[in-house]
Chain A
């Protein structure tokens, strides 16, 4: 059986990179031409590289946000292509969790698979978090998966997470491969019961 990466994730604490705007697609997060590699190593160099080139004060490059562990985003973050390089680049850049209004489904699945929690805030609260990180970049935020809050400077805002994913992070079982493997005998039974697997012969 494979060795699972087990890590309990209860909280993510640190500064945050504010990234306003909706519908930030994965072509913008990691443009396709940087996907021509057989490894994810170094993919963080591609993170938002096209827009950073045209925008010298891009939040990702702002020294005030250096060392951030959180990223605050808008609606439908990570839309488009299924490329895992997008969450990989964010994670390898040093970000450990994202808080936003909503996330695209495939991006959310990929983030879960690599152990990066995503939390949803109301549009008003997401905007407040972004504004706070913009105006006071040194603010230490705490995303708490048990309490389902983001807190900073005495304030505490509610967030939501898919319950099954939240439980997986809290239990340290987000690396699903071992869970999936444990059921291989049952997988073979289900397969045998599907008419197309047996070539419609029975």
Chain B
């Protein structure tokens, strides 16, 4: 039951056929690829003697394995070099546009899609990466797929999919000072649980989203998958249109006006039906930080850690495991927990507004000498813009490292990793065991403001004091 929602409209307009076994065959308007989840897919095509059906609808970048310190080829890491070379070869042989390091457009796939105007309202967008939900911020249906499915898209520009249910999530009122989109999505995941979104697409709306900028919407949609929802989106509105105007791959001139009319038309109707509706009051959200081993293990920064009695069954076991792994105690305050590393970056929070917020806090202050802080812009464009505003100087003067664009310390596939049992405050999206590259590394997720404030104090810190 999701009639007249954006989800239904876009799904229907992209449905090619009902497959004999019952799935819908769905056309993919934009296929984004990167070096990690594609080499095997290109091999599958070769094995079957197939060609890329719509090469102009696939765009490639390199992000996961890219070193952020020295980006000169060949890379020091032979495996990274091999993956980069494989992507280069595959896109070359198949006539796929590649946002190579030399183009000035390289960056994390979920940063460059919207930034270049590739991701547009009313599209279906797939990528071999779970955070493809990010692109829902522009009013598209973006979702992550696996490598065999990447091969399906390359060969046919379609996927065999089942329909999801649609849950409307209203965040009403307004956000207090020092509270950011990252806190909104951490709170939603806290309330609905990391399994709450299984089988669902999340439609975000309400006054908080009406007022939220595009980059903030990207942060929220990005982490839909952490709540179990493969898709998250915000209906396109005037903010969306203003964001897309003038972007390199967005329609220009008369084409833009036609596009704008189409984009407006795909938004959910006022009388749309939803499978269910959930609400959060914006004023009740405070800066959030995770304490455990999944993104649902979170608390307000001023609160005490939840008691084990607050959990039931398996959730209690996971919470116990979380406390043991993180070296924390139920009932203790989370603020003041000492950290070793602060990471500002990732497809969740590495855009200009994120860097500006980090810089606002760090200006005229110093990163605590015990703390190593990395600031990693999400794309070459973001880096260029940040540098034109002098943000890089603010970061380096504060004692943080300013790096080149890439996924960096989000996931331990490049040189940026936690070491041993180091504890980080990170603006990324996953606090899973081992996620930041060390099997014993401990991750706390928070907003860019919380990362910067904590870096200054050397411990988890409420950014509202800054």
Contact = CB atoms under 8 A, between A and B. Distances in A.
B144 A82 contact: yes
A191 B27 contact: yes
Contacts of B435: 27, 32
Contacts of B79: 36-37
A105 B198 contact: yes
Interface string B229-263: 01000000000000000000001000110110010
Contacts of B39: 38-39
Contacts of A110: 145-149
Nearest to A3: B48
A200 B262 contact: yes
A27 B428 CA distance: 15
A162 B162 contact: yes
Contacts of B36: 35-36, 83
Chain B CB within 10 Å, residue with most, of A36, A39, A183, A194:
A36
Contact of A190 (B16, B147, B198, B411): B16
B318 to A, nearest CB: 6
B160 A38 contact: no
A196 B261 CA distance: 12
Contacts of A31: 412, 434, 439
A80 B428 CA distance: 13
A183 B434 contact: no
B149 A113 contact: yes
A22 B120 CA distance: 36
Interface in A6-61: 21-23, 25, 27-28, 31-33, 35-40, 50-51, 53-54
B19 A179 contact: yes
Interface string B68-102: 00000000010110110010000000000000000
A106 B27 contact: no
A2 interface: yes
Interface string B13-31: 1111101111101010100
Contact of B315 (A22, A54, A195, A201): A22
Given A36-B65, A106-B145, A180-B152, A25 B432 contact: yes
A28 B122 CA distance: 35
Contacts of A33: 412-413, 437
B162 A164 contact: yes
Contact of B22 (A74, A81, A104, A167): A167
Contact of B146 (A27, A51, A82, A183): A82
Contacts of A38: 39-40, 82-83, 86
Contact of B54 (A3, A83, A191, A193): A191
Contacts of B464: none
Given A187-B156, A191-B54, A109 B145 contact: yes
Interface residues of A, number: 66
B37 interface: yes
B53 interface: yes
A187 B130 contact: no
B155 interface: yes
A36 B53 contact: no
Residue from A39, A54, A177, A201 with most neighbouring chain B CB atoms (10 Å): A177
Contacts of A109: 145-146, 149, 161
B363 interface: no
A186 interface: yes
A200 B144 contact: no
A179 B198 contact: no
Nearest to B150: A84
B314 interface: yes
B432 A180 contact: no
B314 A50 contact: no
Contact of B228 (A27, A39, A104, A163): A104
A32 B436 CA distance: 9
B258 A196 contact: no
A96 interface: no
Contacts of A27: 411, 430, 432-435
B130 A195 contact: no
A82 B156 contact: no
B304 interface: no
A86 B29 CA distance: 27
B86 to A, nearest CB: 5
B400 to A, nearest CB: 24
B412 A199 contact: no
A176 B160 contact: yes
B152 A200 contact: no
Contacts of B19: 164, 176, 179-180
Nearest to A171: B21
B370 interface: no
Interface in B336-361: none
A97 B430 CA distance: 27
A74 B146 contact: no
A10 to B, nearest CB: 15
B33 interface: no
Contacts of A193: 13
Nearest to B156: A180
B146 A23 contact: no
Contacts of A181: 50, 155-156
Contact of B148 (A32, A104, A113): A113
Contacts of A87: 146
12 contacts: A25-B294, A27-B434, A27-B435, A32-B412, A36-B77, A79-B228, A81-B411, A82-B128, A106-B130, A193-B13, A197-B29, A199-B251
Given A168-B21, A171-B20, A190-B27, 20 more contacts: A22-B315, A22-B318, A23-B318, A27-B432, A32-B435, A36-B65, A36-B413, A38-B39, A50-B434, A51-B433, A76-B198, A106-B144, A106-B225, A109-B149, A164-B21, A167-B21, A171-B21, A176-B23, A179-B160, A196-B122
